[in-house]
Structure 1
Amino acid sequence: MPHAYAAQLALIIDDIGYRRTDAAVLSLPQNVTLSILPYTPFGDQLAHKAHAKGHEIMLHLPMQALNGNALGMGGLTNLMDEAEIKSQVDKALERIPFAKGVNNHMGSLLTQLQLPMHWVMQRLKQHELYFVDSVTTHFSQAGKQARREGVPLLERGIFLDNDLTPKVLEKQFRQAIAQAKTQGSLVVIAHPHPETVLFLKENLRRLAAQGVTLVPTSALLGQGTQRLAKAQLKSNQSTSR
């Protein structure tokens, strides 16, 4: 029986757009938020289909990583000036219709840099979008710059599927439930792997029984979730992505 006062959990599936099989995420409950990469073969199509099914849409914006992994088209780097950064943000948003917010794809290098992140947040404020820091580095400046510009901010609490083995998926899922109940709300990020989608289809129904409500990401805005950053970071599994 659902609890009267449920904690809230936002689940973002990102890295969407490169594979035809990413469409499997459309089988998930509509309160699952979908964050889509720009300039991808299936990104625009999936954004339209997901929006029609009631999913909240985000732009998954590529940003430079410490490991030097290729960003793909539209990625932001530390070699870009203000005009280039802002132009890239605008063009990426044009590629993903219905986006209500943005989270960083990789970005363990760029999110550490105050000036580029300041420029990004200036643009997001102009577009009236929120930002979710994927927290791919503990040294991220994204939150500071979002607060400076008045951009609504959330931070990722848990990566669900860095390891796709069933045992670890279950461990992360249980941790997400516990953390959401302790903190009152939590942002979880996962990816469109077949193993992840299957796990979520079979297990998301457990949330209500545990007193946790699955909500669109924007539902957490204004609840002071950003003040939980220190508590979240204790259990973060940050990767230099």
Structure 2
Amino acid sequence: MTDELNQPLGVGGEEPRRAPGRGRGALLAVAGTLGAVAVAAALVAPRIGGDGQPFAVARIETIEPPKIVEAPPVEPVAPAPPPTEAERNAAAIAEMERFSGVKVTRGGGGDAPGALVIKIEESGPELAPAPDKRLVEKTSDGLLPRIGADGAKPMDVYARPADLSARLPAGAPRIALVVGGVGLNARLSDRAIDELPAAVTLALAPYGAAVEATAARARARGHEILLHAPMEPYDFPVENPGPHTLRAGSDALGDLHWLMSRFTGYVGVVNFLGARFTAEAGALRPVLADIAARGLLYIDDGASPRSLAPSLASGLGLASARADAAIDARAKPQEIDAQLTQLEALARRNGQAIAVAEALPGVIARLSHFARDLERRGIALVPVSALAGRVDVSEARAGRAK
């Protein structure tokens, strides 16, 4: 008899009998080729073997792996083209309308329009047509200005009236802005004409390819215009203002008449450079006398402290004015603003002020902003003809100016 209490567990004793070829459980084996064999086991009701031990029978079936069907190749789709500027603008406008709650009904039921450039026409006095037949004489150079038989003068007929707002107090300070060099560059000329208020006076260079058309367009927009006449500087010809420059010791009147014939409708003349020419009385006096005899005014740009124009003008019966400031075209925007602030202070102190500038992008932008805000600050923007002192010839001889 086996001592099961004293014999170590699993050592000695009889091995339990098992049915031949049978175990206590059936092992389910799964083997596959190419990684895909499925095994399904279905158990049947348990049976009793010859040795009295229960056993079960399992059926093993091999299942074919599913066939892999490759998807057809996808044709590449070209990316949609980016929206045009007009489409972006239209979408933005439609979005603004949706958020604002404002329903816009368009003719024909169209969508939001693309970008539109809208020019707001300024209300104000219309300028007299030019040329006025009374105020021109035909010469070999072209049409020259003159005083009409009825006494009408170009500086009066072609001038823009000083249209002062009723919102300004009586005796409000006045500022005149003269922007020169218009006509040399078509793009900049258009900017000056369209962006600057109509009360700004424009000085046209005589060399533009379409200077007559530029003059007409400027006047149609309400701008009074001047002839920007080139005059001899001290370093001529190193610095050469251009053909027919008025020079000391030359036929200045002949050159003046050629310059005057380039276009019509101007109220007067303003110098371009000319430090040497304006400092020599013998050269300057006959030119100023001719300007006065033709019913024009003269503006000195104030750049040369030696200019004799202010002192000679009163003795010649010439309506004239001298600029108080020149806006530096090379200055930064904030520096230009500072110069304009000084101009405003000068106008408040003296009752009026004149500034000259060049038609360059930065200058045009700052002048436009400054000029359009003057009325709100109690200052009138006027054309330069409104600030040119008038002198009668009879009184000029007595040295009395109006």
The TM-score by the shorter chain falls in which range?
Answer: 0.7 to 0.9
Aligned to 1:14: 180
Using the alignment, how far apart are the partners of 1:202 and 1:112 within structure 2? 36
- With a CA cutoff of 8 Å and minimum separation of 6, indicate the structure with the bigger relative contact order: 1
Matching residue of 1:108: 275
Aligned partner of 2:212 in structure 1 is 44
Q: Whose helix proportion is higher, 1 or 2? A: 1
Confirm whether residue 79 of structure 1 aligns to residue 212 of structure 2.
Answer: no
Shift of 1:2: 4.3
For 1:64 and 1:77, the matched residues in 2 are separated by 5
Query: C-alpha displacement at 1:70, in angstroms?
Result: 0.9
Equivalent residue for 1:54, pick from 198, 203, 222? 222
Q: Highest CA radius of gyration, 1 or 2?
A: 2
Alignment match, 1:145: 312
Partner of 2:240: 70
C-alpha displacement of 1:141: 0.9
* Aligned-pair CA distance for 1:87: 1.8
Q: Deviations over 1:62-112 (max 9, x none)?
A: 0001132112112111131xxx21122122111131010111000111110
- The whole-number CA distance in structure 2 between the counterparts of 1:191 and 1:25 is 10
Give the match's secondary structure for 2:374: helix
- Residue 164 (1) aligns with residue 311 (2): no
TM-score by length of 1: 0.86
CA deviation map 1:131-188 (0-9, x unaligned):
0111221111111221221101100101123433012101111011110111111111
Counterpart of 1:174, as a letter, is T
- State the Cα deviation string for residues 97-131 of structure 1 (Å, max 9, x = none): 10101110001111100011101111101211010
Alignment of 1:96-135 (within 5 A): 96-135=263-302
Taking structure 2 as the reference length, the TM-score comes to 0.53
CA distances 1:10-46 after superposition (whole Å, capped 9, x unpaired): 1000122211122211121111000111122242221
Q: Tell me, in whole angstroms, the C-alpha distance in 2 between the residues paired with 1:158 and 1:136.
A: 8
Give the paired residue count: 221
The one-letter code of the counterpart of 2:243 is M
- The 8 Å contact of residues 232 and 241 in structure 2, kept in 1 or not, is answered as yes
Residue of structure 1 aligned with 2:255, choices 88, 96, 100: 88
Give the 3-state SS of the residue equivalent to 1:188 in structure 2.
Answer: strand
Separation in structure 2 between the aligned mates of residue 128 and residue 177 of structure 1, nearest angstrom: 31
Instruction: Name the CA shift for 1:61/1:194 in 2 (closer, same or farther; >3 Å).
Output: same
**Secondary structure of 2:389 counterpart:** coil
Give the superposition deviation at 1:223: 7.7
Question: Are residue 180 (structure 1) and residue 347 (structure 2) matched?
Answer: yes
8 Å contact from structure 2 (residues 271, 300) kept in 1: yes
| Matched position secondary structure for 1:187 | strand
SS in 2 for 1:146: helix
Contact conserved, 1:5 with 1:211, CA < 8 A, in 2? no
8 Å contact from structure 1 (residues 59, 101) kept in 2: yes
Q: 1:221, CA displacement in angstroms? A: 2.6
- Structure 1 counterpart SS, 2:321: strand
Compare 176-185 and 136-145 and name the one that shifted more. Answer: 136-145
| Residues 7, 185 of structure 1: 8 Å contact kept | yes
- CA RMSD after TM alignment: 1.7
Q: Does the 8 Å contact 1:15/1:191 carry over to 2?
A: yes
